[in-house]
Amino acid sequence: MIEDAYRLGEAMGLPVWCTDQAGPFQTIPYAGRSWQPAGQPARLPHEYLRDGTTKILTLFHPADGRVRVQGATSCPNAVLHPWLRRELAAILAGMPGPDA
């Protein structure tokens, strides 16, 4: 049913974009490869803090697989996030006008 809605929207000339949020993720280091020279311990700056969280905002265009991604420290559901508002405005600006 969802795939039909994507196809119908695209057939009508409407770009279909999906949005999602992931997180929150803690802003702490995760295990992985390191950048320090071999044989030297990893060092962190003295002002390094291991606190806070972040979310990932995404816009996905199923017709061609394009993805737009932005990290956000807060994303209340009561408002449209400013990044999402800017991205949607850019998508609408690229569409032909109603007379086209």
Domains identified in the chain, total number: 1
Q: Which residue range forms the structural domain that includes residue 21?
A: 2-27+52-93
Q: Please report whether residue 81 resides in a domain.
A: yes
- Asked if 19 contacts 84 with a C-beta cutoff of 8 angstroms, the reply is yes
Q: Please report whether residue 72 resides in a domain.
A: yes
C-beta pairs of 2-5 under 8 Å, 24+ apart in sequence: none
Distance between CA atoms of residues 59 and 70, nearest Å: 9
C-alpha 12: how far from chain center? 26
pLDDT mean over 59-64: 84
Q: Higher pLDDT residue, 35 or 58?
A: 58
Bridge partners of 47, per DSSP, are: none
Question: Is the overall model pTM greater than 0.75, yes or no?
Answer: no
pLDDT mean over 16-23: 84
Cis upstream peptide for 62 (omega within 30°): no
pLDDT mean over 37-44: 75
